[in-house]
Copies of this chain bind each other. A is one copy, B any other.
Amino acid sequence: MPESLYRTIAVDLRQRIESGELPAGSQLENEQELVDRYGASRNTIRQAIRWLTNRRLVESRPGQGTFVVKIDPVVTTLSADWKSDKGLSGGEGKAAFEEAEARNLEMRADPLLTVEPRFAEGIVASLLQIQEGTGVILRQKRRYIKNKPWSLETSYYPMKYIDQGASLLRSKSDIEQGVVAYLKEQLGVKQIGFRDHIVVRAPDDDEARYFQLPDDGTISVIVVFRTGFADDPKGPTPFRLTINVYPADTNQFVINSGEVGEVFANPIAFMTSSAESDDSLIK
């Protein structure tokens, strides 16, 4: 099937990885050795490695070598109803911490947030259903798991809440009880629902730097836009927007609806093999 030379070499290397000859974490032969082994030019070998890199099977590090990737995905539950309703009342920060704890992951967040006033634009204005140019407060938080960057969370709140007395929104430190609970206590703004909008795209420069993703754009990020809706005489009204960005190669998401047994699901390990065609077929 693979007609071109670099494809043939790539498929052969993939087979060697999947057969266990090259286990996760192990180092490939260097490029010169691969040149000798396959009798191809160095450019062709590099093209084959690029094919494997695009599939997250290997990873090259300058000065060191090329290594078989070991993946250990983190699973995050997006649904709010997994336990009483932490997600609806506490905010996703708290929920994420509790889930991480239940999964035995060392999670932490930067104690300092980036807090900036902005004019609402584009998506922000559109999802919050406010005029472009309206004042909003941006609050950005970095989260880490095992000291490695895990998520970048950016929240937007209409500026009017500060004017109305929710002055903690300006503070650069975390709001203890969660912003949703705080806004309810302070202003009586009650969240009655939310919408998650999930998008996969290439990281921008900031994201690539923060997550230490290769700058060639081959590893995507998953972006979750969560719009919170508050009770209002005119019907559910958007009052907050939280955008979470995660590297797509190491993160999975779960949504529970109705009754589903245990609330926390395990990561799905996909057969790197694409062999799934005939193995399980009853003939």
Interface positions of A (Cβ within 8 A of B)? 1, 7, 50-51, 54-56, 73, 75, 78-81, 87-88, 116-124, 135, 191-202, 204-206, 215-218, 220, 222-223, 225, 227, 229, 235-238, 248-249, 252-261, 265, 268-271, 274, 276-277, 279-282
Question: Is there an interface contact between A55 and B202, defined as CB atoms closer than 8 Å?
Answer: yes
Look across to chain B and name the residue whose beta carbon is closest to the beta carbon of A274.
Answer: B204
Question: Is there an interface contact between B120 and A253, defined as CB atoms closer than 8 Å?
Answer: no
Name the one of B56, B252, B276, B277 contacting A197, with C-beta atoms under 8 angstroms: B252
Question: Is there an interface contact between A270 and B1, defined as CB atoms closer than 8 Å?
Answer: no
* Complex Cα gap A196–B73 (Å): 16
Look across to chain B and name the residue whose beta carbon is closest to the beta carbon of A200.
Answer: B248
Look across to chain B and name the residue whose beta carbon is closest to the beta carbon of A231.
Answer: B259
- A265 / chain B contacts, CB cutoff of 8 Å: 195, 197
Question: Is there an interface contact between B268 and A199, defined as CB atoms closer than 8 Å?
Answer: yes
Further contacts, 16 of them, CB under 8 A, given A123-B268, A193-B258: A1-B205, A51-B216, A78-B255, A79-B255, A117-B282, A118-B281, A124-B280, A191-B258, A198-B252, A199-B252, A201-B270, A206-B274, A220-B220, A235-B261, A236-B260, A236-B261
